[in-house]
Structure 1
Amino acid sequence: MANFGGHAIPGSFFLLFGFWLTVKHVLQHYWRTSQPKGRQIMPPFFKKMDYVEGGFQIFASFVGIMVEQFVVDGPHARLYDRENTSWVKLMNWQHSTMYLFFGISGAALLASLTIKRVPLGVDRLALSIALFVEGFLFLYHVHGREPLDAHVHTLLLFAVFAGSASNMLEVFIRNNILLELFRAQMFFLQGSWFYQIGVVLYPLNGDAWDLKLHDNMMFVTMCFCWHLALSMLLVTCSASIVCFTTTRCSVKGRDIEIGMRNTSSKTSSQKALLEESDEE
């Protein structure tokens, strides 16, 4: 949608997805590093998390497509108007296409979980293709538009294509926590930058930006670097909270287990002493 809400919806999706990936991969990394070398089979809990992730991708993509198509000024599933010999709301159609490929990515993740013959890494490959399609669409999304409008969308491509390349590497390099957190960071960056695009092009306070002023382009470029720093901070804080919580819970669990063992050993020794006294 050509308004602030049209950029806030994908921005919220990417921010939530980045947070989810950070939590999931930090938990998986903690489990891998705390297990013996011979034990590498993930517990069912992580498989359930992947089911939730795939279902969320499909649901969010469906909602995004419905919103883009059936808003009041949307195309309502019409691509070409024969009466006026013109295309109908191609911007909405491009956004719908972007959501479609993220839905395909979710379906690929579910298929890799339920069908044993699906090759390992199909989920990462599908997500990489979805991000590539997103960047490919935005590359020609702003052709002929005002300089600042084209610039803010061009900056988005750095995060999109970097995320696509990271996912492609994960097809061949599995369980690398640095690649996994970098992927989450690029989703954080995309999400926050979508909001920034909405603020620049459709300001909520009504004060329009000068889309031809070079100083605005310089400020937006600097602002993108701030968003990059913010995405690094979000990943770091989220990962630190998850690590601290997981470590503390595991320590408490071990203390309880040790206490139970000590109690049971004391009880067994008391029983043995009673039996010996009875015999005497």
Structure 2
Amino acid sequence: MSTSFLGSALRGTFFLIFGLWWSVRYPLRYLRRKGNAESQPSNGIQRVEIFEGAVKAFFALAGILVEQFVPTGPHLQLYSPKTHSWTDLTPWHYTTVYLFFLLSGIVDIVSHSPLKLPLGLDRLSLSVALFIEGFLFCFHDYSDAVLDHHLHSLLALAIFAGAFSALLEVFIRDHIILETFRTSSFLLQGSWLWQIGFVLSPPWGGPGWDPTNRSNFTFLTLCFCWHYAGALIILAANSAASRCCNESCQLKFGDIDVELDCGVCTRKNNKSGALLPESTSDDK
């Protein structure tokens, strides 16, 4: 598989953005629900889900356009009648991956729209997108590129871990442990895609790492574990920061509860969830 540093870095950035966002959002939401057991899913949470779906769909669509219409891309041509052979299938590989993430983003948007699709369909579509990604990496023809194969085999572990977690979330909704595990798999996948770019196509030019040196395989396997350790450290740090933020908000606002998903303030123990009225001239 021909891998460019820029392409690998852009794909890694996509997963890192979602992983970093979730590493803050999920702990904040968990702490809020833990502090207020009577809280119910709000319109703000639905708006955040729709926003995430739109961002996912946008990045996926942009990825499809980039893979197909860069100067060296296939420009939607799959088979060449001149050479009687398939065109470069690597862009089609990534186009297919992006296609399923595009569908996942669309399902996210529709699931939380007034159409009210069955609960869990958004997580199922994400799980399917990840399974397709891992499936394509597992059965791609790496020819004699053994180092390339090793790197993407390790990547497939992170992909399938995220897919399995998302599949469990279809049946066990809003479970902080599953959400944290999925987040860690996204952080791992994102950072490892950057690592793949540095190994196979260094940004400073020159050849990639020596595939005949078996110690490189051992080191990269260790490096993969260190990447996951880094993902766990990020999760722990962001969770601690979220806790501090949540406690500072409680101290600052007193009996005002801050809706962390949309920035709306409500009075605690107000079951109707009415918005706080704006201050009037009498209050001033």
Q: Which residue does the alignment assign to 2:14?
A: 13
Q: Which has the larger radius of gyration?
A: 1
Task: Give the aligned residue type for 2:208.
Answer: A
How many matched pairs? 255
CA distance in 2, matches of 1:40, 1:119: 22
For the residue of structure 2 that corresponds to 1:114, the secondary structure is coil
For the residue of structure 2 that corresponds to 1:8, the secondary structure is helix
Alignment of 1:1-280 (within 5 A): 2-36=3-37, 39-205=38-204, 206-254=206-254
> What displacement does 1:142 show?
4.1
Quick check: 239-248 or 218-227, which moved more? 239-248
CA distance in 2, matches of 1:256, 1:143: 58
> What displacement does 1:64 show?
0.6
Would the aligned equivalents of 1:142 and 1:153 in 2 still touch at CA under 8 Å?
A: no
Task: Give the aligned residue type for 2:12.
Answer: G
Label 1:113 to 1:256 Cα distance change in 2 as closer, same or farther (>3 A).
Answer: closer
| Larger helix share, 1 or 2 | 1
> What displacement does 1:5 show?
0.8
> What displacement does 1:208 show?
2.9
> What displacement does 1:83 show?
0.8
> What displacement does 1:256 show?
8.2
CA distance in 2, matches of 1:9, 1:120: 31
Would the aligned equivalents of 1:18 and 1:187 in 2 still touch at CA under 8 Å?
A: yes
CA distance in 1, matches of 2:240, 2:150: 34
CA distance in 2, matches of 1:50, 1:124: 11
Quick check: 41-50 or 209-218, which moved more? 41-50
Deviations 1:160-192 (A, max 9, x none): 001100001111111210110110000000000
For the residue of structure 1 that corresponds to 2:254, the secondary structure is helix
Q: Which runs of 5+ in 2 are unaligned?
A: 258-284
Cα RMSD after superposing both structures = 1.6
CA distance in 2, matches of 1:250, 1:160: 37
Q: Which residue does the alignment assign to 2:276?
A: none
> What displacement does 1:29 show?
0.8
> What displacement does 1:244 show?
1.2
Q: How does the TM-score come out when normalised to structure 1?
A: 0.87
> What displacement does 1:145 show?
3.1
For the residue of structure 1 that corresponds to 2:20, the secondary structure is helix
Would the aligned equivalents of 1:75 and 1:89 in 2 still touch at CA under 8 Å?
A: yes
> What displacement does 1:75 show?
0.7
Would the aligned equivalents of 1:24 and 1:49 in 2 still touch at CA under 8 Å?
A: no
Of all paired residues, the percent bearing the same amino acid is 42
> What displacement does 1:45 show?
2.1
Task: Give the aligned residue type for 1:251.
Answer: L
Task: Give the aligned residue type for 2:70.
Answer: V
CA distance in 2, matches of 1:100, 1:31: 35
Would the aligned equivalents of 1:22 and 1:238 in 2 still touch at CA under 8 Å?
A: yes
CA distance in 2, matches of 1:210, 1:59: 37
> What displacement does 1:12 show?
0.2
> What displacement does 1:149 show?
1.1
> What displacement does 1:117 show?
4.4
Label 1:256 to 1:27 Cα distance change in 2 as closer, same or farther (>3 A).
Answer: closer
Task: Give the aligned residue type for 1:33.
Answer: K
Task: Give the aligned residue type for 1:247.
Answer: E
Would the aligned equivalents of 1:14 and 1:188 in 2 still touch at CA under 8 Å?
A: yes
CA distance in 1, matches of 2:203, 2:49: 37
Q: How does the TM-score come out when normalised to structure 2?
A: 0.86
